[in-house]
Amino acid sequence: MSDSDSTSRIVPEEDRQGPPPPWRVEGLPDEPPQLAPRPSGVGLLPREPRFWIILLGLLLLNWFIYSWFAGGQGTARARVSYSQFRTEVDAGNVEEVTSVGSAIEGSFLTPVKLGIDAGVTVVLFRTERPSLGDDKVIDVLLAKGVTVNAQSLTRPVPFWQNLLFGFGPTVLLVGLFVVMFRRGGAGALTGMGRSRAKRVDNEPKRATFADVAGIDEAEDELIEIVDFLRNPERYQRLGATIPRGVLLSGPPGTGKTLLARAVAGEAGVPFFSLSASEFVEMIVGVGASRVRDLFEQAKKAAPAIMFIDELDAIGRARSSGAGLGGHDEREQTLNQILTEMDGFAGAAGVIVLAATNRPEILDPALLRPGRFDRHVVVNPPDIVGRRAILAVHSRQVPLDEDVDLAAVAASTPGMVGADLRNLVNEAALLAARRHRGSVCQADFTDAFDKVMLGTARAITVSPAERERTAVHESGHAVTGILMNPADPVRKVSIIPRGASLGVTLQAPAADRYDYDEAYLRGRIVMTLGGRAAEELVYGNVTTGAESDLEKVTQIARQMVGRWGMSAVIGPVAVLPRPGDGPLLPGVDATSPRTQELVDDEVRRILDECYVTALGLLADHRDRLEALARLLLERETLDEPDIYAAVGFARPGSSTAS
């Protein structure tokens, strides 16, 4: 595809002439009404009848409970015996009484003590008149001047108190629900099935293809989608249809999410973005409901782009075993996505972009034509791509004249876009910490050491341990230089960094995409060189080679079990890829005999490489000791000093041990 053709296909929206594209979404009218912008929340209260029925029930329940416990009781009165009541009447200590039937209520002139507890005194009382005969109590009361009422002394609770205490809690509860409804869109209860996708329409700083660099092949695949969204009649005239979905796969940090945002920014259409894990909830059916709601939103906004990140969270291949009720929540969500992407309803005008790091575990139904029609692999950038990515990320960074981005790109093989962005940011942070007005090459060098080797630690190391570390790292460097083919040794340091006391850095001179058996054996020999140097010089070994042993064991096992580099095992893959689980895809299990053979072959390869490392260092012990002495003196050596110390010419770039 030529640059002129690509430019002609991407025309700004304001420069195009003619009517808007004839978008039509299946299941919706041909001329959909103008929809108001979707609000972030909902109305003050929901309009569902069920809500109002629940609210009315809460009010009645609240009123009943209040009336049962508090209604009609008025002021609390102490119950006294009738004999004590007569005693107080005879003593002239009763101020006022009222009687309803046999019940008598009243008040004392002075407080009266109850029982033997002198701390309990009462003024208001209540008693019951026994039906044992007529004791003429009314005559005694009148004689003593007691006021006798014809109505109860208990005053009813005022209406405003009934209203406040009866309906107040319910009103507060309803207010809480209103806040939840307004802040949670549809509320925490009724909105559980609503999609949580973030919609982006016309932000001033939307990503475009100008922000994408180093992954030109993937970018070219997506330019066609942008052009279709802007000029659909060009393709519809020839009977072509846009892919329903595009799957972006590749290692983490290669720019899959950035590509999706750039497509939406270039096309100028609404962009719905969310992670696949946001679909799945503990309650079965919520994920499928959210999928339906998300596609419904996207259809109303068509043409639109929907981006689902980390698709493998819900897109894993379905198993034959049934979960609770026949399907678990993840499978129900996956089934709903399959239906929405290519079902009876369809989703014309909605393009689904998805990103994953593990496309091999996705369900085959997702990958078939009609769903994710196009698969775009986003690979780590080469040296030219890394140079372009560094230029993009350093646009807002003032660079010194001595900065050579091409040299930085050459020294960072294997780094992806996220790594390079972090490298530029670390260099800028170092320059700011050093009070510089611009970022220079030394800042990039120090930032590279920090990212690749770790942050230097200010710890005190004894002279004996420091010397042993120098011998260990010199063993790595010398065996790395002597092995052929091997990557050049770029840096050796005995400054403690990260979890190690020293570090040796190897980096290839050019990007490598394939490795032969000789190269892998050279890597093992170089990695075992530190342990071999300790044994050669001191006659014993330490725990400093722990990470080295882990690395060489992993390399040897993959040589034997995955890459067929063992004559005993042969060209048979018997081990899964790292992170894929204990079993090889398509194979139930390897036999115990095969596993023993793998272990024996791994041991044989490591033993042979260790003997090679010991032999090389024994033959070149003077070079080993010379490099160790210089390392003790200067602590950190770069490539020219390393090769000069061992007496070898430098070869024509990243692995740290």
| Residues annotated catalytic, as ranges | 473
Q: Residue 639: how many CB atoms within 10 A of its CB?
A: 17
Sign of CA pseudo-dihedral 153, 159, 161, 163: positive
The secondary structure of 328-355, three-state, reads CHHHHHHHHHHHHHHCCCCCCCEEEEEE
- Residue 43 Ramachandran class (φ > 0 left, ψ -120 to 50 alpha, else beta): beta
Q: Rounded distance, CA 250 to CA 137, Å?
A: 101
Q: Rounded distance, CA 315 to CA 371, Å?
A: 12
Could you tell me if 647 and 502 are in contact, meaning their C-beta atoms sit under 8 angstroms apart?
no
Could you tell me if 313 and 362 are in contact, meaning their C-beta atoms sit under 8 angstroms apart?
no
- The CA dihedral of 455, 458, 463, 464, to the nearest 10 degrees, is -50
- Residue 370 Ramachandran class (φ > 0 left, ψ -120 to 50 alpha, else beta): left
DSSP 477-541: HHHHHHSSS-PPEEEEE-S-BTTBS-EEEE--SS------HHHHHHHHHHHHHHHHHHHHHHSS-
Backbone angles phi, psi at 350, to 5 degrees: -115, 120
Percentages of the chain per state (helix, strand, coil), in multiples of 5? 45, 10, 40
Could you tell me if 315 and 249 are in contact, meaning their C-beta atoms sit under 8 angstroms apart?
no
CB neighbour list of residue 135: distance below 8 Å, 6 or more residues apart: 86
Distances (CA, A) of 136 to 9, 126, 139, 582: 113, 19, 5, 100
Q: Rounded distance, CA 296 to CA 290, Å?
A: 10
DSSP 349-386: TEEEEEEES-GGGB-HHHHSTTTS-EEEE-PPP-HHHH
Bridge-based pairing of strands 350-356 and 304-309 is parallel
Return the CA Rg of the chain.
41
Distances (CA, A) of 480 to 505, 524, 584, 614: 10, 10, 33, 13
Could you tell me if 382 and 253 are in contact, meaning their C-beta atoms sit under 8 angstroms apart?
no
Strand partners, 200: 271
Label residues 338-356 b or e (16+ Cβ within 10 Å = b): bebbbeebbbbbbbbbbbb
E strand or H helix that includes residue 307: strand 304-309
- Residue 525 Ramachandran class (φ > 0 left, ψ -120 to 50 alpha, else beta): alpha
